[in-house]
Chain A
């Protein structure tokens, strides 16, 4: 994994601090050209990994990348699935099963599962989940997706429920069918680490909020720091600026001081902001990512 990964919140009207800012960004990036311009700048500045939700508009970006393999030879996608609002809105409209029916590509299969009664249902969680994953992955066909993430609302919902086998199922399918590493996005990193270890997912890739403010670092900043010190997972820090609440330099310096962080995912809309972040990371995080910091043993 590279030290800097490029996120996509800014392109789709997600801003944790301001609705009006989010809306302005959604307008600015209404055309795929505007998104490509920013991605091209990032690529030019050496940020070549695009960590993106499986938002329907991402498929347009995939098309652009596919049609210009020369230019995007080094460009890599880290898909994060699913795009949760699509499902949440469908559940409100049509109920749980209705939503499943809508998104599962193979109507016959889900209906067979639902009508087949409990015995079938017991066996076929895998049969239901894997087509959903495949449906989300369709847009990336032919593109590099070395890490595939399960998105935080789903991860944290399953985590709270205690449905840890689902993580295993996701990890297996992503490895077997896509030759990719599974990744997990969460707002509850210390708890998730335990859960993943329980189902035998060793040294997982976990993307979590890691910022100086402790913003959305559930379990508390201390527990998060303890988990980082164990070195038992590959951490990707997100929300490092807490949506702009922490000044850039202060934010990056703090994150780079934390142990065992492999990557930072950040979003930016302008050349100057992307360059600034790159410069800060180069200054405060000068060594290659993989041997960044001595791996401390759990205390």
Chain B
């Protein structure tokens, strides 16, 4: 049995706890949070050993793997402490708020030979995995442009009182939402060489961002541009929707969590099951079964992948700290670019100055 602890029992942490407790190879040896009221309920009704002091939990419990779902600003210190004790770590995204710290954690995990994984669950979604397969086979030819979108109904009015409503705690649309499409772009194309035209704006929030738009530029192996369009104040979406549209010299792919539409100008030799013209695939066909379902197969699958990595001492990880630090780097690039271009400065091309229009002559005079 893998001895697992879950730290941070907010929305993500509780659902991780529920899924991992149901895993047949796992024994949950501790759950940790600062809300003692909730810990008490959890302990009384489920028998889970609980701690409100993280260090005390690490001191008193033998733990193989840790699932960390605390506010992002706490990730760095908590993970260092865990890894120093030789504990494998699964961390919620983003890895940290500082790419330097993320790289440091990646190096530490590497040097200690610890399994390290970040919760970018879209890499476990059937459709996005199929996009990866098609791209790796070169089905689209040379990819020329990507539109990477994420929308959802998170902030719909001017209030909010959790850490998610504060940027410096790692809240906001950039870290919470935009990180996902950025991470998918990283998976497919690596890190961009430059970003431009970044707009990170507020719609309802006071202390953080609600919308993120930017252009990502890649130069190698081929020139490629990607447009990021993210808004979490969109009530027209029932829940978070992440969507990628990719154009290539041999066609187009449009994919979200549910389905994928592929247009191929020419059939591809390596893809016997895709024809010239339109092809559609749905998650129903692309998604493998999981041992326990709570809110999407991908959430279960990523935890199983973590457990299996520990059990099999597998070194490589599809969502390693290293790969997640790439996403943190892009986020830092967006923030840097935003401070250059947000609404002013030389980076914006201005409309030519117009001469004031003459008032037309009128017998009735001006109104």
Contacts and interface: CB of A to CB of B under 8 A. Distances in A.
Interface of A: 12-19, 22, 26, 85, 88-89, 91-98, 114, 118, 121-122, 125, 153, 156-163, 165-166, 187-188, 191, 213-220, 242-243, 245
Given A118-B36, A118-B37, A188-B292, A245 B282 contact: yes
Contacts of A153: 294-295
Contact of A165 (B45, B154, B258, B294): B45
Given A85-B239, A93-B154, A218-B292, A18 B38 contact: no
Contacts of B350: none
B285 interface: yes
Given A94-B162, A95-B161, A121 B41 contact: yes
B284 A245 contact: yes
B289 A214 contact: yes
A91 B11 contact: yes
A29 B170 CA distance: 38
A160 B37 contact: no
A96 B38 contact: yes
B239 A156 contact: no
B223 interface: no
B293 interface: yes
Interface stretch (B15-23, B184-192, B327-335): B15-23
A19 B241 contact: yes
A32 B71 CA distance: 41
A13 B153 CA distance: 14
A215 B241 CA distance: 21
B160 interface: yes
B291 interface: yes
Given A94-B162, A95-B10, A242-B284, A217 B46 contact: no
A95 B162 contact: yes
A96 B161 CA distance: 11
A162 B47 contact: yes
B290 interface: yes
Contacts of A159: 18, 22
Interface string B235-254: 00011010100000000000
Given A93-B155, A94-B161, A188 B293 contact: yes
Nearest to A165: B45
A26 B241 CA distance: 16
Interface in B41-75: 41-42, 44-48
A160 B289 contact: no
B256 interface: yes
B284 A85 contact: no
B10 to A, nearest CB: 7
A42 B269 CA distance: 48
Contacts of B256: 19
Given A92-B162, A96-B38, A160-B17, A16 B283 contact: yes
B14 interface: yes
B284 A213 contact: yes
B259 interface: yes
Which of B21, B41, B153, B297 is packed against the most chain A CB atoms within 10 Å?
Answer: B41
Interface of B: 10-11, 14-15, 17-19, 21-22, 35-38, 40-42, 44-48, 153-156, 159-162, 164-165, 238-239, 241, 243, 256-259, 282-285, 287, 289-295, 297
The SS class assigned to the A binding surface is: helix
The 9 closest A-B pairs by CB, nearest first: A160-B18, A187-B293, A245-B284, A162-B46, A218-B293, A17-B282, A160-B22, A95-B162, A161-B18
Contacts of B36: 118
B294 A161 contact: no
B289 A18 contact: no
A98 B162 contact: yes
B260 to A, nearest CB: 10
Contact of B162 (A19, A22, A93, A122): A93
A245 B285 contact: yes
B46 A216 contact: no
A88 B165 CA distance: 15
B146 to A, nearest CB: 18
Contact of A161 (B21, B258, B290): B21
B345 to A, nearest CB: 33
B44 to A, nearest CB: 6
B18 A215 contact: no
B154 A92 contact: yes
A96 B238 contact: no
A164 B156 CA distance: 34
B14 A157 contact: yes
A215 B283 CA distance: 10
A93 B289 contact: no
A37 B255 CA distance: 34
Nearest to A98: B161
A89 B154 contact: yes
A166 B290 CA distance: 24
25 contacts: A12-B238, A13-B238, A15-B258, A18-B259, A85-B238, A85-B239, A88-B11, A89-B153, A92-B11, A92-B154, A92-B164, A93-B154, A95-B161, A95-B162, A96-B38, A98-B162, A118-B37, A121-B40, A157-B14, A160-B17, A160-B18, A166-B45, A187-B293, A213-B284, A220-B289
Contacts of B238: 12-14, 22, 26, 85
Given A92-B164, A245-B285, 5 more contacts: A92-B162, A95-B162, A159-B18, A217-B289, A218-B293
